[in-house]
Amino acid sequence: MRRIVIVGFESAGMTAAAAARMVDPAAEITVIERRPYAIYHPCGIPFAIGGEVPDIQKLIESTPPMPNVEVRTATEAIALNAKAKKVEIQELKTKKRSAVKYDALILATGSYAFKPPIPGIALSGVHVVKTVEDGQAIIDELGLAKRAAVIGAGPIGLETAAALKGRGLEVVLVEALPSVLPNMLDPDMAGLVVRKLQENGVEVICGQVVKKILGKQRVSSISVGERELLADLVIVATGVRPEVKLAKGAGIELGKTGGIKVDERMRTSAEGVYAAGDCAETFSAITKRPVLSQLSTAAIHMGKVAGTNAAGGEARFEGALSTAVTTEYGFEIASTGLTTEAAKRAGIDPIAGRIRMLDKPRYYPGGKPITVKLLVEPEEHRLIGGQIVGSDGAAERANLLALAIKRGMTVEELSWIDYCYVPPVCDVFEPLVVAVEAVLRKL
């Protein structure tokens, strides 16, 4: 009987367990998870803070029934001996230690919230947004706080800023880079998002760093540039870092990005050891360069590949596009592939086409603006990136563009896609095709 051990039970680990069981139903699968509960949904935390999810505990789920899969919660993997093929574990309540042997091991250890070295970051009232416990701690302070500062303008930062504003707090959002959502949007597209935030009362400061978090025992203000801004609640949303302590301790090779280096089958440098999810360094589907794609959707794909191969099957990862979506004040903001800056770092000077139009015919009531930007590789005319900001349909269009990129479609091919039309739903001119035409005029 094949023994498979999985460390971590978030998106990658859970999917790996399901995939492994499908390939080898007789395999003995053991999951090690340090949390006291098996499954939770971190992407829902900002919406629990904002009250759209009325009870944050609903983000926690019990372990789904999986034959031959044992999930050991409140148990930590503290050491890995890759040569002996065993994992040393410790039960967190009893401190009891034991060893689990494996034929195949999947590291799905995830990531941890990054805290930049800002003086005062350990003060009371300063929080990250990573776990249910983090979210509950923020919710518990909502009645005490009047002014919040959110450091970091990625999706979690923006969603949390909007959530806190909706709870009646004054909110300032601070981003060190020149624009918000820098890994998703070009600055011109990000400007649409900033305008929406400002219209709803969120102050946005870009291109400046938080120098200090001030206060005695509890935060009272932050220092940004030459300004001191009052804040009795601070949210640090400066991204995550791969959790690689277990792998590093076992001598497993790490990649340039700091994640566990894997090949297209999710194999690490240690025999019989795979890695998937936030902890793994994978590759861009476009540039083939090493990347961290720390999204639940990417983790699910990687987990499926790792679980399939660990159980004796055959699967290969096609690379990451980091297709992502967030929502602010009725806006859907979605992207896939490369931004202009990312393309240039890879040696590509893309041709861009951007359009803005209504998502329904002008004569039909209820039409709302949608802005689409496409990036195209100039030599072969392949689509390499797409960004959509609008009230409806951004996510679905980003998904379609992701498929087009994965299949190597040119903009000429994309211009001939069939699409549907009825006035209450959409215009006769599909915004993606209109954006394609804008690119074609530049080729």
The DSSP 8-state label assigned to residue 150 in this structure reads E
Q: What is the mean pLDDT of residues 399-409?
A: 97
For 315, phi then psi, to 5°, come to -150, 150
pLDDT of 106 over the 90 cut: yes
pLDDT of 62 over the 90 cut: no
H/E element holding 369? Answer: strand 369-376
Q: What is the mean pLDDT of residues 200-205?
A: 98
Which range of residues forms the domain containing residue 193?
A: 115-236
pLDDT at 392: 84
pLDDT at 67: 84
- The domain total for the chain is 3
Give the CATH number for residue 252. Answer: 3.50.50.60
pLDDT of 416 over the 90 cut: yes
Same domain, 414 and 365: yes
Same domain, 159 and 249: no
In tens, the pLDDT along 275-317 reads: 999 999 999 999 999 999 999 999 999 999 999 999 999 999 9
Q: What is the mean pLDDT of residues 249-262?
A: 98
Per-residue pLDDT band for 64 (boundaries 50, 70, 90) equals: confident
Per-residue pLDDT band for 63 (boundaries 50, 70, 90) equals: confident
Is 415 inside any structural domain? Answer: yes
| Rounded (5°) CA angle 33-35-40 | 95
Same domain, 193 and 223: yes
Q: Residues 12, 17, 21, 27: what is their CA dihedral angle, to the nearest 10 degrees?
A: 130
Is 373 inside any structural domain? Answer: yes
Q: What is the mean pLDDT of residues 398-402?
A: 97
Is 59 inside any structural domain? Answer: no
Contact residues for 223 (Cβ-Cβ < 8 A; gap 6+): 210, 211, 212, 213, 214, 229
pLDDT of 387 over the 90 cut: yes
Same domain, 286 and 305: yes
**43 carries an active-site annotation:** yes
Q: In whole angstroms, give the CA distance from residue 337 to residue 323.
A: 7
| Final residue of a structural domain among 236, 257, 281 | 236
Give the CATH number for residue 336. Answer: 3.30.390.30
Give the pair of three-digit tokens for residue 315.
């699967």
In tens, the pLDDT along 136-172 reads: 999 999 999 999 999 999 999 999 999 999 999 999 9
pTM beyond 0.85: the answer is: yes
Q: What is the mean pLDDT of residues 204-225?
A: 97
Q: In whole angstroms, give the CA distance from residue 40 to residue 290.
A: 28
For 438, phi then psi, to 5°, come to -65, -35
Q: Which of 43, 206, 420, 426 is an active site residue?
A: 43
What are residue 235's DSSP bridge partners? 127, 150
Same domain, 211 and 105: no
Is 41 inside any structural domain? Answer: no
